[in-house]
A and B are shown apart, each in its own frame.
Chain A
Amino acid sequence: MDQFLQLTLTGLTIGAVYALVALGFVLIYKSSDVINFAQGEFLLIGAYLTYFFLGQIGLHWSIGIVLTILAAAALGVIIERLVLRPLIGEPIISVIMVTIGLASLLKAIVGGIWGTNPQVFPAFIPKNEVHILGAVVTSDKLWAIAIAVFFLIVFTLFFRYNKEGIAMRAVADDQQAALSVGISVQKIFAWAWSIAAITAAVAGIIVANVLEVSPNLSGVGLHVFPVVILGGLDSVPGALVGAVIIGLLEAYAGGYVGDGSLSLVISYIVLVIILMIRPYGLFGKEIIERV
Chain B
Amino acid sequence: MESGIFHSSYEKDMALRHTPIEKARLALVILFLLVFPFVADNYWLNLANTIGVVAIGAIGLNILTGFTGQISLGQGAFLAVGAYTAALMSIHMGAPMWLTIPAGAITTAIIGAIFGIPSLRLKGLYLAIATLAAQEIIIWVITHWDAVTGGVDALNTKNYLWFGDDHHFFTEFQFYWIILALAALVTIASVNIFRTRIGRAFIAIRDQDIAAEVMGINLFKYKMLAFATSSFFVGLAGALIAHWRQIVTWERFTIEVSIFYLAVIIIGGLGSVSGSIYGAIFMVMLPAMLNNLGRALSGVVPGMDAIIPFIQQAVFGVVIILFLIFEPEGINKMWKNIRDYFRLWPFSY
Q: How large is the interface on A (under 10, 10 to 19, 20 to 34, 35 or more residues)?
A: 35 or more
A222 in contact with B132 (CB, 8 Å) = yes
User: Bound state CA distance, A32 and B306, in angstroms?
Assistant: 39
Contacts of A271 in B (CB 8 A): 129-130, 133
B-chain residues with CB within 8 Å of residue A265 when the two chains form the complex: 136-137, 140
Chain B contact residues: helix, strand, loop or mixed: helix
Q: Does A182 contact B (CB under 8 A)?
A: no
Most-contacted residue by chain A among B136, B137, B318 (CB, 10 A): B136
Q: Contacts of B125 on A, CB cut-off 8 Å?
A: 35, 92, 96, 233
Name the CB-closest residue of A to B73: A96
How many chain B residues have a CB neighbour from A under 8 Å?
47
- Please name the residue on chain B nearest to A275 by beta carbon: B130
CB within 8 A of A104: which of B65, B124, B137, B313? B313
Nearest B residue to A115 by beta-carbon distance?
B306
Using an 8 Å CB-CB cutoff, how does the interface string of A170-190 with B read, 1 for contact, 0 for none?
Answer: 000000000000000000000
A115 to B309, CA, bound (A): 11
Residues A93 and B314 in contact, CB atoms below 8 Å apart: no
Say if the beta carbon of B118 comes within 8 Å of chain A: yes
Give the docked Cα–Cα distance between A96 and B258 (Å).
13
When the two chains form their complex, are residues A97 and B263 in contact, meaning their CB atoms are under 8 A apart? yes
B124 touches A272 (CB 8 A): no
A101 and B311 within 8 A (CB): no
Whether B93 sits at the interface, judged by CB under 8 Å, is no
CB neighbors of A among B307-333 (8 A): 307, 309-314, 316-321, 324-325, 328
Contact between B133 and A105, CB atoms less than 8 A apart: no
CA distance in complex: A290, B310 (Å): 43
Q: Mark A245-276, 1 if CB is under 8 A from B, else 0.
A: 00000000000000001001100110110011
Find the B residue at minimum CB distance from A271: B133
Q: Which residues of B contact A (CB under 8 A)?
A: 65, 71, 118, 120-126, 128-130, 132-134, 136-137, 140, 144, 209-210, 213, 219, 255, 259, 262-263, 266, 270, 306-307, 309-314, 316-321, 324-325, 328
- 12 example contacts (A-B, Cβ-Cβ < 8 A) are as follows A83-B321, A90-B324, A97-B266, A98-B324, A104-B259, A105-B314, A108-B310, A108-B314, A112-B310, A276-B118, A288-B122, A291-B209
